[in-house]
Homo-oligomer: A and B are copies of this chain.
């Protein structure tokens, strides 16, 4: 037998109205159609739900059991439908995203804030971790997608370029390099360097860019804020991508675009290839693409990405 929410509503309406005519109105049906509906339900169940006399309509003793179950079942069905719609329309939900620490601290918060304004009912979760960690979180389904610099296996992951992130020299005011017009990679070779850890994507790009030149490493730390402090104190210079510059500008350091063709890291949106993103996740994904990190106008007047 096929019992639907419509049927349950009809039964409950009749229980409450104790009158076919009024219950029919509540169900937007003519009274005979409503009568037939109740009859059909009763036939499907195999026994009467209501005891009718011309002047009175009331539940049978078995009908009374049915009523309480029916109310619960109808509430469950309605809640189920509402919940589905809420998720589909992004009134409810949850998005988990992984992002490189530089993005998580600089550009992403504004995007998340806008997302939250648009979809206040959706819970957000952010993992700020290095690229390998980001990819692992995507693989392990801990996050819906990641903002990372390394694109993983193409069979497992679907990647899309978010932006290209050019590299900048950072040095203290008064440093010899601060006066150089166009800084080239080989200009840096003689100066002591403060580095990020080898596991960071920034460092890996740098190593590749300098090869086969050597760098004079004085210190190696985990966090960009530490790098900024060390450079500020005159321990060395550093080279970092554009999206991290807010750290150094806040610290009152000189930042200068590096004249180095091909020295740029690419930031990708990375997600699992199988399945699709939830409505909530897709909306954040799309918003990220809309609010691309705006490249600053470089001294040379070129834009990094079209």
Which of A's residues lie within 8 Å of B, judged by CB? 1-7, 45-47, 51, 58, 60-62, 65-66, 69-70, 72-73, 76-77, 79-81, 83-85, 87-89, 275-279, 281
**What are 22 A-B contacts defined by CB distance under 8 Å?**
A1-B5, A3-B77, A4-B4, A4-B6, A4-B7, A46-B85, A46-B88, A46-B89, A47-B85, A47-B88, A51-B276, A58-B275, A60-B276, A60-B278, A61-B87, A61-B276, A62-B279, A65-B83, A69-B79, A69-B84, A73-B73, A73-B80
The chain B residue with its CB closest to the CB of A282 is B61
CB closest residue in chain B, given A278: B61
Q: How many copies of this chain does the complex contain?
A: 2
Q: Contact between A80 and B69 (Cβ–Cβ < 8 Å)?
A: yes
Distance A60 CA – B76 CA, assembled complex (angstroms): 21
B-chain residues with CB within 8 Å of residue A46 when the two chains form the complex: 85, 88-89
Name the contact of A6 in the complex, choosing from B2, B88, B89 (C-beta under 8 A): B2
Alpha-carbon distance between A103 and B288 when the two chains are bound, in angstroms: 83
| C-alpha spacing A275/B161, complex, angstroms | 73
- Nearest first, the 8 closest Cβ-Cβ pairs linking A and B are A4-B4, A47-B88, A61-B278, A2-B6, A69-B80, A62-B87, A66-B84, A2-B4
Contacts of A84 in B (CB 8 A): 45, 47, 62, 65-66, 69
Q: Are A85 and B3 in contact (CB under 8 A)?
A: no
In the complex, chain B residues whose CB is within 8 Å of the CB of A278: 60-62
A72 and B76 in contact, given A5-B3, A84-B45 (Cβ under 8 angstroms): yes
CB distance from A219 to the nearest CB of B (A): 45
- Docked CA distance A83–B62 (Å): 9
Query: How many angstroms from the CA of A77 to the CA of B5 in the assembled complex?
Result: 10
**Chain A binding surface, main DSSP class:** helix
How far, in Å, is A275 (CB) from chain B's closest CB?
7
Give the complex CA separation of A46 and B85 in angstroms: 7
List of B residues within 8 angstroms of A3 by Cβ: 4-5, 77, 80-81
- For A2, the chain B residues whose CB sits under 8 A away are 4-6
Contact A81-B51, Cβ < 8 Å, known A58-B275, A276-B60, A276-B61: no
Given A5-B4, A81-B3, is A88 in contact with B62 using a C-beta cutoff of 8 Å? yes
**Which residue of chain B is the closest to A60 with respect to CB atoms?**
B276
Extra A-B contacts (7), CB below 8 Å, given A61-B276, A62-B279: A2-B5, A47-B88, A47-B89, A51-B275, A66-B84, A73-B76, A73-B77
Q: A207 vs B168: C-alpha distance in the bound complex, in angstroms?
A: 118
Residues B61 and A277 in contact, CB atoms below 8 Å apart? yes
A6 to B5, CA, bound (A): 11
Name the residue of chain B whose CB is nearest to the CB of A44: B81
A281 CB contacts on chain B under 8 angstroms:
61
